[in-house]
Amino acid sequence: MTKDQIFEFFRRLAEDNPEPETELEYGNAYQLVVAVALSAQATDVGVNKATRRLFAEITTPEQMVALGEDGLKEHIKTIGLFNSKAKNVILLSQRLIDHYGSEVPDDRDELVTLPGVGRKTANVVLNCWFKQETFAVDTHILRVGNRTGLAKGKTPDAVEKKLDKRVPQPFRLHAHHWLILHGRYVCKARTPECWRCQLTDLCSFRKKVLEKPKR
């Protein structure tokens, strides 16, 4: 894509959804870290179902540590990999208490020292809570970046670097949300719904599905 095409790409997404947000539910920075950590290899819908009752009771790292690993497992046992995730959440909560005064740090290098928090999770927290211009590349963004020609790369890190270089203002803050939502609901993995996409003339995907498949 050219610079003008990229600008138009995001202009259309912004016009359609001016203030996109993560679909994860949370009440503070700590709950956001926990929710994103739990969302690895799970859907936001599934995480929200598991955390609604949990977050009604647990709002701080201290409360989570007091709940304990077994207590946490009871809340999140419907989520994939819940055993390892419960262990990590308790460990990251204790680390926040011990090293950060129970506050979530606003620095990526510090965030990724928390158990269960990788670069993608850190980028989500920095973007959603601290309003930093980060690009959290998940499977949706990896697919959309490559399929459309916006940011091609074989790995999330490669796509992230391309996005950081190519996404212009004033779209940088919300770019990763637009791309996730577009990949989740329109540019789907199995059959992209090109017939209802407002970006088809900008997209370089050669196998566009321009008619809705008959069932």
187 is in an annotated binding site: yes
Alpha-carbon distance of 86 to 75, in angstroms, equals 10
Instruction: Mark whether 4 is an active-site residue.
Output: no
Task: Catalytic residue, from 107, 120, 152, 188: name it.
Answer: 120
Torsion over CA of 168, 170, 173 and 176, rounded to 10 degrees?
A: -50
Task: Catalytic residue, from 138, 152, 154, 161: name it.
Answer: 138
* 25 close to 51: Cβ distance less than 8 angstroms: yes
Instruction: Mark whether 138 is an active-site residue.
Output: yes
Angle (nearest 5°) at CA 185 between 184 and 186: 110
* 215 close to 51: Cβ distance less than 8 angstroms: no
Structure tokens at 91: 């460990």
197 is in an annotated binding site: yes
Please give the helix or strand (H or E) that residue 166 lies within, else none. Answer: helix 156-166
128 is in an annotated binding site: no
Catalytic site positions: 120, 138
The binding site comprises: 187, 194, 197, 203
The binding site for [4Fe-4S] cluster comprises: 187, 194, 197, 203
